[in-house]
Amino acid sequence: MADRRATSQSLRSIAGASLIALGPVILFANLDGVAASLSNCAGISVHEAMGILPALGLAALHAAQTYAFDHAGFLSSLLQILVSFWPVILILVGALLLRDVFRGSFLGRGGHRVPLQRGNVDE
């Protein structure tokens, strides 16, 4: 039974480390394209750059209008934004898989568990 638990823990550690390593690679590959498009904007003049502020304000107003009058459209757009951050989900899942490994390594080095206190801190 102990071998089975150790094997399970080992597989979870490998999967967690793999996901934590793969997530940033994919995320930074996606951000590389964004950085390339922003570098094109770096060559614009100050007059053209000032036009970005009203555009951002209008975009915020459009988002508020969509939220107020078209919840389905707003949720659809929000879902598209969240899907673009799917590599972050890989990192979070990897961290959850490695949670017990980190907890065990910290406890193995002389650490101790501190029980959670319920109630008011001032008591």
The pLDDT, as a whole number, for residue 44 is 65
Burial 72-84 (b: 16+ CB within 10 A, else e): eebeeeeeeeeee
Q: Count other C-beta atoms under 10 Å from residue 90's C-beta.
A: 19
Give CA separation, 90 vs 12, 16, 30, in Å: 14, 9, 14
The pLDDT, as a whole number, for residue 67 is 84
What pLDDT digit, counting tens, does each position of 70-89 carry? 888 888 988 888 888 888 88
Q: Is the pLDDT of residue 47 over 70?
A: no
What pLDDT digit, counting tens, does each position of 1-39 carry? 667 777 777 888 888 888 888 888 887 777 767 666 666
Can you give the residue ranges of every domain in the chain?
2-108
